[in-house]
Structure 1
Amino acid sequence: MLNWDHIFATRSSRMRASEIRELLKLLDRPDIISFAGGIPDPALFPDEEFKAAYADIFGGEQGKAALQYSVSEGYKPLREWLQCEMAKIGVPCSADNIFITSGSQQALDYLGKLFLSPRDTALVNWPTYLGALQAFNAYEPNYDQLTLGNRTPESYRTAAEKLGGAVKFAYLSADFANPTGETVDRAGRERLLKLAEELDIAIIEDAAYQSLRYDGEPVPPILALEIAEKGSIEETRTIYCGSFSKTLAPGLRVGFVVAATPVIRKLVLMKQAADLHSSSINQIAIAHVAERHFDAQVAKIRKAYSARRNAMLAALERYMPAGTVWTRPEGGMFIWVTLPEGIDGAELLARSVETEKVAFVPGQAFFADRSGANTLRLSFSCANEQMIDEGIKRLGRLVGGVGAMAAA
């Protein structure tokens, strides 16, 4: 066999398989109750609406354009619809401030490429979205823990310089974060804006779950707060990443970026060099469905996921042993569980799949420093309320038994 290792670029050593993607294979096993995949419930997809959209596209002149090359910025009617939606959440902008990507994961990859040179530092939460770490890893950065309140800008700058680079951006999901389900309050968002100003860095605001609020008062996006302060999106350093994957359909791979035009221009150049443009037909179909059905679709999934979140929180209260704690999200798809000390999430998963037939994601994968061994992520989006109760009952029984053995 040819040894490829000495031919591969050094960045390839930072590429690792997604533990979550591997766990998704368990979804095909009918005997497993899975809380692993943070994916939408396919039973809630607006499939009839998409059937009608594709029929409309091919029933008229749009059919030719749908199969043709297109502009790298993205389908203009979709960007114009997004322009109106962004205005509703306090982000006045033009269509030229919006760029369509092949899912928001591509946006994270492009932004890592745009900002990170080897040894630069990205500020991320501990824990953070695994997909962001995978996207950024290829550009050989260092990571520092983003905390909003108990560190000085100078401490971040000094730490980055000691590692041979500079701080380039702070990345976070401010609403119902993957994996914790937690939301950054307004004061925390304002502190982040101040930190970014003092460090002169970008903010990447991952808003994949922003539409999935079930209760509590909405908090303005970080980009909205910055525009209110500075008067124009062209003066802002926040880059807003959104997606239709959690609201309409993940398989169509349509995401978007909203930012000042100098950032958008660079991203367009990257798109031209990578895949020219996102799928024309999928962008047009998303535009059709979004224009006609977005609000109704969001209301439908909010109702379903809210009931499942409530069922999981109630089951955790009923079945989890003392010493186990968890988050109480106001939206999104995830609950974050911290196990009693001495219980390893990865070891617990192996036992759980074997003996209790319950799957989840061990928390260590979400930490840039591979800490957090006694944590795990539960997703409630794809399990009905009866499955949730039974699955958490089994998991609580296992945690209790393992905890008792660890204490003995």
Structure 2
Amino acid sequence: MQWTDVLATRSTRMKASEIRELLKLLDQPDIISFAGGIPDPALFPADAFAAAFATAMSGSTAATALQYSVSEGYRPLRDWIAGCMADLGIPCDAENILITSGSQQGLDYLGKLMISPGDTVMVTWPTYLGALGAFNAYEPRYVRLDPMANTSPEAVKAEAAAAGSTVKFAYLTADFSNPTGETIPVAARHALLDQAEALGIAIVEDAAYQSLRFDGTPVPPILALEIERTGSIEAARTIYCGSFSKTLAPGLRVGWICAAKEVISRLVLLKQAADLHSSTLSQIATEIVAREMFDDHVAKLKATYSGRRDRMLAALEREMPAGVRWTRPEGGMFIWLTLPEGMDGADLLAKSLASERVAFVPGGAFHADGSNRNTLRLSYSCASDAQIDEGIARLGRLLRR
């Protein structure tokens, strides 16, 4: 059987995730890994979830937990999320919320909903690798989104038209982005809303890290700023993607999309066709734990991760040779390094694994065109102070060589 003869054209755009492949290195005990942008499992609220799952499986609740359920998601969880959205300046109700199997599924659904082959999608340069993986299956073309540059909407539209394409949406992580750790300022968020309105496109706001602010002044979500303009979420073009993966536990696979009901109703149809609904048992347990301890648990995460960020920034100051630059995030899990021109992050990784046993993610993978290869992403979320000191010292030694 020649499988290539029966595969869809979109299959040629599906590639193995460099990050998922690098996660396999975590099983090698002599590797110091700054590669996986994953939560520290030592911080998971395991006891709270053990009790929550026991509660979910007791009495009449067990029948609900183990039965088919509505595609929109478990109503008490959606109500709790709607309350949290209101606290962020996004008044809405449960009908504005769709529970997804992690925010990654939400990105896949949005790509399926909006992208036809050849359509133009605006993404930051660099951008979240998982978003590119989700969107690639629907065969878009990408153009650079730079919220700071105030790019002319007419120029974007004309460039797409010249390629026989239509601009559909802009995608970005506005807070502590993966991979750079940077946050988009308020003025740039307003400029993006202006540009999206002029283009007549949607905005997909990936808020996976929004709860993990360590310091600095909180910035309203793009959706909150738009609701201030329009008066209602039902008039908003911004689609907000949230997740419990970075706050409670990624293995639960519980995320959500918050948007106008017109958008949610269409996404529900995709959910029905794809997997009917997300795990009800996981949703019930998540709702129990979130109501009991979400704020206190996130405060614990921020205290731990902020200390590791500070440790890594100090180590970079101490160990990096001249010509290396890096971001200074106010939250999240990542620091982005820019190496001198002519260096290649992928080549550096191969040398690092061979000689220094330090892992990171090369930056070219985060660019839709594979450019800017003299960059790399470091994650501090799972590294101890000793690992940070030793790993950055080894990386600095390699760079000096």
Under a length normalisation based on structure 2, what TM-score does the superposition of the two structures give? Answer: 0.99
| 2:298 paired with 1:298 | yes
Which residue of structure 2 lines up, in the alignment, with residue 398 of structure 1? 398
Which residue of structure 1 lines up, in the alignment, with residue 5 of structure 2? 6
| 2:280 paired with 1:248 | no
SS in structure 1 opposite 2:5?
A: coil
- The alpha-carbon deviation at position 49 of structure 1 amounts to 0.2
Structure 2 residue identity aligned to 1:17 = A
| 2:270 paired with 1:263 | no
SS in structure 2 opposite 1:257?
A: strand
Structure 2 residue identity aligned to 1:104 = S
Note the alpha carbon deviations across 1:120-176, whole angstroms, 9 max, x for none: 000000000000000000000000000223420011111111222200000000000
Whole-angstrom CA distance in 2 between matches of 1:14 and 1:164: 20
- The alpha-carbon deviation at position 355 of structure 1 amounts to 0.5
Whole-angstrom CA distance in 2 between matches of 1:220 and 1:389: 35
SS in structure 1 opposite 2:4?
A: coil
> Contact conserved, 1:118 with 1:165, CA < 8 A, in 2?
no
Alignment identity in percent?
67
> Contact conserved, 2:150 with 2:191, CA < 8 A, in 1?
no
Which residue of structure 2 lines up, in the alignment, with residue 332 of structure 1? 332
- The alpha-carbon deviation at position 59 of structure 1 amounts to 2.3
Whole-angstrom CA distance in 1 between matches of 2:134 and 2:57: 36
Which residue of structure 2 lines up, in the alignment, with residue 131 of structure 1? 130
Which residue of structure 2 lines up, in the alignment, with residue 115 of structure 1? 114
Which residue of structure 2 lines up, in the alignment, with residue 199 of structure 1? 199
- The alpha-carbon deviation at position 6 of structure 1 amounts to 1.7
Which residue of structure 2 lines up, in the alignment, with residue 321 of structure 1? 321
- The alpha-carbon deviation at position 339 of structure 1 amounts to 0.6
Structure 2 residue identity aligned to 1:82 = I
| 2:214 paired with 1:237 | no
Note the alpha carbon deviations across 1:47-75, whole angstroms, 9 max, x for none: 00000101111222101110000000000
Q: Which runs of 5+ in 1 are unaligned?
A: 402-408
> Contact conserved, 1:118 with 1:140, CA < 8 A, in 2?
yes
Whole-angstrom CA distance in 2 between matches of 1:386 and 1:5: 49
Structure 2 residue identity aligned to 1:386 = A
Structure 2 residue identity aligned to 1:89 = L
Whole-angstrom CA distance in 1 between matches of 2:162 and 2:140: 13
SS in structure 2 opposite 1:267?
A: helix
Which residue of structure 1 lines up, in the alignment, with residue 190 of structure 2? 190
- The alpha-carbon deviation at position 242 of structure 1 amounts to 0.2
Under a length normalisation based on structure 1, what TM-score does the superposition of the two structures give? Answer: 0.97
Which residue of structure 1 lines up, in the alignment, with residue 344 of structure 2? 344
Matches within 5 A, 1:76-115: 76-115=75-114
Whole-angstrom CA distance in 1 between matches of 2:75 and 2:155: 43
Which residue of structure 2 lines up, in the alignment, with residue 39 of structure 1? 38
> Contact conserved, 1:14 with 1:138, CA < 8 A, in 2?
yes
Q: Which runs of 5+ in 2 are unaligned?
A: none
Structure 2 residue identity aligned to 1:398 = L
Matches within 5 A, 1:147-166: 147-148=146-147, 149-166=149-166
- The alpha-carbon deviation at position 341 of structure 1 amounts to 1.4
Whole-angstrom CA distance in 2 between matches of 1:60 and 1:303: 38
Which residue of structure 2 lines up, in the alignment, with residue 176 of structure 1? 176
> Contact conserved, 1:326 with 1:338, CA < 8 A, in 2?
yes
CA RMSD in angstroms, aligned pairs only: 0.6
Which residue of structure 2 lines up, in the alignment, with residue 405 of structure 1? none
Structure 2 residue identity aligned to 1:348 = L
Whole-angstrom CA distance in 1 between matches of 2:160 and 2:284: 43
Structure 1 residue identity aligned to 2:161 = E
Structure 1 residue identity aligned to 2:271 = K
Whole-angstrom CA distance in 2 between matches of 1:41 and 1:288: 21
Whole-angstrom CA distance in 2 between matches of 1:188 and 1:209: 19
Whole-angstrom CA distance in 1 between matches of 2:33 and 2:54: 35
> Contact conserved, 2:315 with 2:389, CA < 8 A, in 1?
yes
Whole-angstrom CA distance in 2 between matches of 1:374 and 1:6: 38
Structure 2 residue identity aligned to 1:294 = F
> Contact conserved, 1:108 with 1:135, CA < 8 A, in 2?
yes
- The alpha-carbon deviation at position 13 of structure 1 amounts to 0.6
SS in structure 2 opposite 1:5?
A: helix
SS in structure 2 opposite 1:204?
A: strand
- The alpha-carbon deviation at position 118 of structure 1 amounts to 0.6
Whole-angstrom CA distance in 2 between matches of 1:274 and 1:173: 25
Whole-angstrom CA distance in 1 between matches of 2:110 and 2:337: 30
Note the alpha carbon deviations across 1:279-320, whole angstroms, 9 max, x for none: 010000000000101011101110000000000000000000
Note the alpha carbon deviations across 1:184-223, whole angstroms, 9 max, x for none: 0000000000000000000000000000000000000000
SS in structure 2 opposite 1:179?
A: coil
Structure 2 residue identity aligned to 1:268 = V
Query: After the TM superposition, which parts of structure 1 deviate over 6 Å for at least 4 consecutive aligned residues?
Result: none
Whole-angstrom CA distance in 2 between matches of 1:139 and 1:156: 21
- The alpha-carbon deviation at position 234 of structure 1 amounts to 0.3
Whole-angstrom CA distance in 1 between matches of 2:175 and 2:191: 16
SS in structure 2 opposite 1:219?
A: coil
SS in structure 2 opposite 1:123?
A: strand
Whole-angstrom CA distance in 2 between matches of 1:266 and 1:336: 36
Structure 2 residue identity aligned to 1:99 = L
Whole-angstrom CA distance in 1 between matches of 2:123 and 2:56: 42
Which residue of structure 1 lines up, in the alignment, with residue 276 of structure 2? 276
